[in-house]
Chain A
């Protein structure tokens, strides 16, 4: 089943979406990983820190998603079954720490799609990049995601 080209490389970005970071979500995320670092969990430690509040763990921004689009919007657009998807690679670049109460704007686009045949058969690789900016339009973080689809 080839990847559908209706979300082509260099095509338009997904609709930008905003996320307001909730204090409880940061803590829930850190605890789910089992990372009990007080800079993620302790409001007093956060308030006394250089950031003036708790911060999100490095991989937290990968959870940002467009609530309006619903789960699996990208997969639907690509004509892909979620059972055939694997996470291939992930990169996160952090310019500024994410803190509670801030509202961030996320812009994602597909930058490459290619196919390769591996040990387990033919696979498609979908490369996406996300830029996260704050209210003043400054870059806070960027991400690069590679999703692997078993064809």
Chain B
């Protein structure tokens, strides 16, 4: 049930988000993301340039992976629920990598009719290495 609505009361600390699997990453997606985001750094497009820069070849924009993590969060919590998302780019995402985004509920709080859920979020590659680590805060509707 994609885009189902999650209510604050139904969320428990320790709950896990459904994993979101993205990729395998193809060059065309990096080119498309460059156009959509305006980030035309050749290190994401031009393999020769990336090798000369000592990066061993092209790699994905960090912001693309953060977009994947945001999608995993909103697929679960709903569009427009994200109040805060902060990530660290822990490792490079390469062409052909499969990126799986995951998350887990860390805490819940309510104040002034705002119901907040704090999440640990991360993304890992096909070898289980974390490529993105972070935290998200989402505001959920109450059944009441």
Contacts and interface: CB of A to CB of B under 8 A. Distances in A.
Nearest to B137: A93
A58 interface: yes
B53 interface: yes
A71 B33 contact: no
B53 A84 contact: yes
Interface in B13-71: 22, 29, 32-33, 35-43, 49, 52-54, 61-64, 66-68, 70-71
A92 B71 contact: no
A28 B67 CA distance: 13
A6 to B, nearest CB: 22
Category for how many chain B residues contact A: 35 or more
Interface residues of A, number: 40
A26 to B, nearest CB: 10
Interface stretch (B72-80, B105-113, B122-130): B72-80
B66 to A, nearest CB: 5
Interface of B: 3, 22, 29, 32-33, 35-43, 49, 52-54, 61-64, 66-68, 70-71, 73-75, 79-80, 82-89
